[in-house]
Structure 1
Amino acid sequence: MSMLRTYLIILVSLGMYLAVFADSRVQEACAVSPVMEYHVKGAPGMKFHWEVLGGIVVSEDKYNDTIRVQWNGIGEHRLSVYGEYEGCFTDKRDLVVRLKNPPIVSLGADVEMCQGQRYTFSVDSGYASVTWLDGSTGLWYTADRAGDVWVKVTNSLGCEATDTAKVVVHDLPPVNLGPDTMLCGNARLTLTAYNDAQLAPVFQWSLTDEYGYPLSSPDITVTADAPGIYWVKVTDANNCANYDTVVVKECNIKITKEGIPTVFTPNGDGKNDTWRLDALTRAYPNAIVEVYDRWGRQVFRSERGYPEPWNGRDKTTGRLLPMNNYFYIIYPNKRGEDVITGTVTIAR
């Protein structure tokens, strides 16, 4: 980062005698920029003459009261000035310019990373002080979010330098294989991974083809005779990867019964208002569900496949049934499978 500094030299008039006074005979500065500006003040109409040793004048104005000098580098240089006014000249005054070597610091190129990753920036040792954007003073800074990262260093001469790097964070590709499930009979399940042509995703499934290579299509089909754990890895054009896993369980009556809710709350709040039997209907698509009250009166009977979950109302009157325990019988309607029985509670 370059910075132009202006230094003031003052001329005052005492009658017909003009003298030049500098605010300092020695100027010490860090050579952050090779160009420095110098300004002199005097009586209106006074013209100034400059001499530069160790550099060149790169710009000046009509009366030469402001000049810009490009110094040749670090080290000691000299700048002289005197004034001219109505044929009279001031004494020449010298300014010794000592340019000190500034530190050099670099954070490297801008960084791109994926959500959840971190990147550690570092600077070399040997600086008198190091300050990062968060006020920390170590040699390392770890970024875990998008934004600019900057560092300021100071060397033993008191000269400073800064550098900035930009951190870009890419989102992970979304992937969702759905909830764990169970397949029975001739049921088939298609698992679909994230697919966005713009980000050119690459898929890697846990299943392999006939040659032993991972399947790389956007979706696969799982059948009931192949239970197991299936996973997919999706990598997008930003080289960001995301994973998801689904468990496909073997058809099992015990597991099916464990998936039946034992309570629901038909109070109209939109939460748990019906007795949902999703796992069971997937396992037994032809099942019929019957519900009885404590006196053995049937209060609900579903159509084949349980297409509409029970809402806690009496099938005859349509009224909400009171809070209580109700006995159910589920007919799987599948050869070799026994009926499933149990109780469900209506709560408010």
Structure 2
Amino acid sequence: VCDDDGSANGLMPRISRTGLTPGETLWIRFWEYGNDNNGTFSLCAQAPPPAPPAATCQTAQSFCTSTTPNTIPNITGQPSTAGGGIYGCLTTIPNPTYYYLQIQNSGSIQITISQTSTAGVGVDVDFVVWGPFNSLNTTCTAISAANIVDCSYSTAGIEVVDIPNAVAGQYYLFLVTNFSDQPGTITYQQTGGTGSSNCAIVCTLAATNNGPVCAGAPINLGASTVTSAVYQWTGPNCFSSTLQNPTVVSAPTTPGQYVYTVTATTPSGQTCQDTTIVTVSPKPVLAADTSFKICSGSTANLTTIYTTTGLSSAWTLGGITVANPAAVNVTGRYRLIAANTTGCSDTAFVNLTVDTVRSQVTTQQIVCTQTATITITNLSGIAPFQYSISSNPGVFQTSNQFIAAGGTYTITTRDSLGCTGTTQATITIVPELTVNAGQDVSIVSGDRTQLLATASGPTTSILWTPSTGLNATNIFNPIANPAATTTYTVAVTNSLGCQAQDDVVVTVIPYCIKVNNAFTPNGDGINDLWQVYDSYDCLRNVTVNVFNRYGKKVYENRDYRKFWDGRFENKPLPDGTYYAVVDFTLITGRKISVKTDLTILR
């Protein structure tokens, strides 16, 4: 917990707790010293950074001695713990690093340890060595002050470790500290003795990552291969994984540098550890989404809306790249993705409305006048609207109606943004309405005729009355088939509601065809002539042909009027049965053909 006055020894001292358990509740009391004044305070809770590789005995790493120097980075930034006791001469233990080695060849071993800063200047290095141990598993549990082999707590930057009478197969545990907490390197080199250590147990591990990454982006972690080892990764936000190379690990959402630690444990119990620092970069922050409008025919410059200096930017509309974001003229939701060199990005949207003013007009002739009303309906644009007509150009009104004579006009609509649109209005003046029902007509009973009415102009409705005998009452040319003579009236209405009507008479003439199949031309004045009709009223023409039983024509007449007396070539035909064909042409023009046997009896 941090105090609120910015100093390490302020009136409210800094306090710390270690070994906390997740879910544990801590109570902290605050009070004001000296005066009873109202005020505020701040509370800052911090977790120490994770321990680096080999920071504890349990994570001790293997190494072997050699006459060739072995240089590795030292450890800094770790809390110092109390020494003494099993730590021998070490009064304090700042930045501890644990190593172990196994003796390969018996004999004494002398190892020189030197520590230098990043500037190459020697810095204080201290150590303690325990041993010997018969197995690796007992190195941490069996250490005591009694099995300290060598120890040094001097201020020197170079120390010498002496291991006398080392026996092959035994283990020794090293603890080396960085008292000055200065970053640098530590170098190990065997500088004397007849013994040697087993380099086959050395476990080397290298941790890597694909950073820098963006806040919240996936991280890919990697560890070098240690034969048959089991891996354990730990990191911020309680991250844990047993994969050698964890992928798609969610990065912290707060920019900064984060330490991820991997430990590899071999079947023999050997462990090696390494850390990798993931840099989480901040993402760019664009301003809030915005919306604006432009008039149709103009363009908008999207590049001036957001500051993207030092960023790569990409504008899209509907997933398609905008070719020229400095001059767009299409309505839509434009998307900007701005990214920094790390690839971190932010997204903003611009809702652009291209204000297109569109209207439609309707015209309605005023009844009994030669003028009409033009009514404008707005299809698009931003209300309120104003209107102008080409017969009075430049003069706008709020009413959406004009009264004008016949002709074509240009209507201009202007909306609240000042955008304009035009549309054409054509007024057609309908003249006075008249209707002609057509000529009177005669038909034969049972026959039909087509009525042919015409109007002087367009109509919106047609009605024939009566409907008796008509196949339709709402068309100009219905088919009439009345049973008796009928006067039909047609009434029409135009778009203005004006009406007109006219009559036509359909005269029905009784059916007059009646072909007798026998007659007696014996001069007694009864049935002496062959009759084929009752009256000639329904006929226009009658043609007859009579044949004997041998197919020879014995009579022909192309305008028969009931005067054949059964003679052929001026001689009476013998009594008998003949064959007759009678072709009638009715007054309507329809043709009827009757074929019948014809008997002559005297």
Structure 2-normalised TM-score? 0.28
- For the pair shown, the structure with the greater C-alpha radius of gyration is 2
Structure 1-normalised TM-score? 0.44
